[in-house]
């Protein structure tokens, strides 16, 4: 359970979630949590599946918790992936997913704020174990449901929000995000000045908005 805290990775390489910027930022924000390396880092995953024997019009939604304290080969093994619930069909839960997730969220909050007394077999002693939900892993529709941000329509990007350059295609009325990505490139990147490969005769000078913090989003 302490592998994530003692392993070493070459600079510029990533072999485990503990090597990424989000993990390191979390460590800086919550040093009290980091002091106990046996505290648990979790991820939440959900997606739909069609049960055996049912048609494609019926789908269920499993909610899975993954454990990231362990080495890469163990993080994704079935022994350390926990099925917390299966949301029944026949269709996706949409806004009701909050109702199904409420008991799990309450347990996660207890593990974050209070913790539970846990026995450590390796050291033959007990300690107060806390847990943190680091992130969720979803496809775009499931991300929209779990985050509460609608991923459909012109403002489907949760980073750009109302600062988007998305538009509706004239003949099919579909939302298109073509050429919205150049704003994230460095100012001197040659793609910004390319007038042929992207929107014709358009140079991209606009800079993407800064990503909002959690507190800013709540405000």
Cβ atoms of 177 and 192 closer than 8 Å: no
In the chain, where the domains are located: 1-138, 152-219
pLDDT in single tens digits along all 219 residues of the chain: 888 888 888 877 888 888 888 899 999 999 999 999 999 999 999 988 888 776 777 888 899 999 999 998 888 888 889 999 998 888 888 888 889 999 999 999 999 999 999 999 889 999 999 999 999 998 888 888 888 888 878 888 877 777 777 888 888 878 888 888 888 888 889 999 998 888 888 888 888 777 777 777 666
First to last CA, the chain: 36
């Amino acid at each position: 359970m302490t592998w994530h805290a003692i392993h070493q990775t070459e600079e510029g390489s990533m072999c485990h979630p503990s090597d990424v910027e989000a993990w390191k930022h979390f460590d800086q924000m919550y040093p009290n949590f980091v002091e106990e390396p046996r505290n648990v880092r979790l991820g939440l995953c959900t997606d739909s599946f069609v049960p055996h024997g049912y048609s494609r019009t019926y789908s269920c939604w499993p909610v899975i918790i993954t454990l990231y304290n362990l080495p890469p080969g163990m993080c994704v093994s079935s022994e350390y992936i926990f099925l917390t619930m299966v949301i029944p069909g026949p269709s996706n839960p949409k806004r009701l997913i909050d109702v199904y997730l409420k008991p799990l969220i309450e347990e996660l909050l207890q593990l974050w704020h209070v913790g539970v007394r846990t026995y450590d077999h390796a050291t033959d002693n007990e300690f107060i174990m806390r847990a943190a939900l680091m992130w969720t892993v979803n496809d775009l529709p499931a991300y929209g449901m779990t985050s509460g941000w609608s991923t459909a329509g012109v403002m489907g990007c949760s980073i750009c929000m109302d600062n988007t350059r998305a538009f509706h295609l004239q003949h099919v009325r579909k939302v298109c995000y073509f050429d919205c990505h150049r704003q994230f490139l460095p100012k001197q990147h040659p793609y910004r000045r390319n007038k042929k490969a992207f929107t014709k005769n358009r140079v991209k000078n606009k800079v993407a908005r800064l990503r909002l913090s959690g507190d800013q989003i709540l405000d």
